[in-house]
């Protein structure tokens, strides 16, 4: 299928050849299945996460082409490498506080990729550049949040609350550090540049879209921290005498210490990703 205009990139050249094949649909199904199986085998995704990633990856690539797939893969590979390095350096201490584990399940995949999928589906309905920007901003926000979290916890300086500025325990949602913020900006910019080079039509003729995508993505990363510090559910682990995002321990429910019970990490990710996607479309409309 591939509805995106040719922009002269390697991905666009691959699109021209691949989607001209009569069996491109089945080849893409096979390719995405192999990628999902590899991610499951590498323990990056659970079974449900692999199925969700297959759906998002196949749909966006079929509509937007290999530029979209390469953008998604760049984020996924970078996130996996950073996560493993961060865990190796910091040990497993953070897993006792953070609800997300090593393997991403379907909820985590959709929390970070639903609006990328929506952007692709909207583009299939109407070929507006704003929907490509929505796709890119969604992926960039997920990268920004991942970079900020996995690199930020390695900071030598203690993090502070994004709301009050008071010191917080390392790894808790809502805690920020200069290293984490800088890493979040870098993650947003890298995905914005990748999407601009591989996906966005050349007729725009400027780096304006990179700024829109990166700014919206980093804004979403900040929203993630604000929600994490205010409304995200945190529970009290009496045994360890610490706050945690886990609602249960050994099958026993923990006491809600702060936040709203149904707003967990996945909901925060979804809301912040939505804010980035919508903001990116709005900024593009204002600037064009």
Q: What is the DSSP string of 71-86?
A: HHHHHHHHHHHHHHHH
DSSP code string of 130-177 = HHHHHHHHHHHHHHHHHHHHHHHTT-SSPPEETTT--B--TT-TTEE-
Identify which of 226, 224, 266 has the alpha carbon closest to the alpha carbon of residue 245: 266
| Backbone Cα Rg of the chain | 19
Query: Residue 27's pLDDT is what?
Result: 96
Mean pLDDT of successive 10-residue stretches along the chain, which has 288 residues: 65 88 95 96 94 97 96 94 83 59 87 97 92 97 96 89 90 91 97 91 70 97 96 88 81 87 95 98 89
Query: Residue 242's pLDDT is what?
Result: 82
Instruction: For residue 38, give both structure tokens.
Output: 């590899």
Predicted structure pTM score? 0.92
Specify whether the CB–CB gap between 210 and 86 falls below 8 A: no
Rounded to whole angstroms, the Cα distance separating 212 from 218 reads 10
Specify whether the CB–CB gap between 2 and 15 falls below 8 A: yes
Query: Residue 222's pLDDT is what?
Result: 98
Identify which of 125, 128, 96, 142 has the alpha carbon closest to the alpha carbon of residue 234: 96
Rounded to whole angstroms, the Cα distance separating 217 from 88 reads 27
SS3 4: coil
Query: Residue 163's pLDDT is what?
Result: 94
Rounded to whole angstroms, the Cα distance separating 187 from 65 reads 22
Identify which of 250, 244, 249, 280 has the alpha carbon closest to the alpha carbon of residue 265: 244
**Residue 110 CB: number of other CB atoms within 10 A?**
21
Query: Residue 3's pLDDT is what?
Result: 66
Instruction: For residue 208, give both structure tokens.
Output: 């304006």
Identify which of 52, 86, 88 has the alpha carbon closest to the alpha carbon of residue 72: 52
User: Residues near 206 by Cβ (< 8 Å), separated by ≥ 6?
Assistant: none
Q: How many H-runs (helices) and E-runs (strands) does the chain carry?
A: 9, 7
Continuous segment of H or E residues that includes residue 192: helix 178-198
Establish how many alpha carbons lie within 13 A of residue 244's alpha carbon, considering only the half-sphere containing its beta carbon: 22
């Amino acid at each position: 299928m591939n509805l995106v205009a040719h922009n002269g990139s390697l991905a666009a050249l691959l699109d021209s050849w691949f989607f001209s094949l009569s069996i491109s649909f089945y080849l893409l199904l096979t390719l995405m299945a192999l990628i999902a199986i590899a991610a499951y085998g590498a323990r990056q995704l659970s079974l449900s996460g692999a199925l969700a990633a297959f759906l998002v990856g196949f749909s966006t690539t079929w509509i937007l082409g290999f530029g979209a797939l390469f953008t998604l893969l760049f984020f996924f590979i970078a996130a996996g490498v950073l996560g493993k390095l961060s865990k190796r350096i910091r040990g497993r201490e953070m897993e006792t506080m953070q609800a997300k584990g090593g393997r991403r399940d379907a909820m985590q995949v959709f929390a970070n990729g639903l609006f990328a999928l929506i952007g692709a589906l909207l583009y299939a309905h109407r070929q507006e550049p704003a929907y490509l920007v929505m796709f890119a901003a969604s992926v960039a926000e997920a990268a920004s949040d991942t970079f900020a979290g996995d690199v930020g916890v390695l900071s030598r300086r203690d993090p502070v609350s994004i709301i009050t500025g008071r010191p917080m325990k390392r790894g808790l949602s809502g805690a920020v550090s200069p290293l984490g913020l800088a890493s979040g900006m870098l993650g947003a910019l890298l995905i914005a540049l990748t999407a601009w080079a591989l996906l966005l039509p050349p007729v725009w003729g400027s780096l304006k879209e990179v700024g829109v995508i990166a700014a919206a993505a980093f804004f979403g990363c900040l929203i993630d921290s604000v929600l994490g510090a205010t409304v995200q559910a945190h529970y009290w682990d009496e045994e360890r005498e610490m706050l945690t995002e886990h609602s249960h321990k050994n099958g026993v429910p923990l006491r809600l210490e702060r936040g709203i019970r149904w707003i967990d990490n996945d909901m925060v990710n979804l809301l912040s990703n939505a804010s980035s996607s919508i903001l990116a479309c709005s900024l593009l409309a204002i600037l064009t």
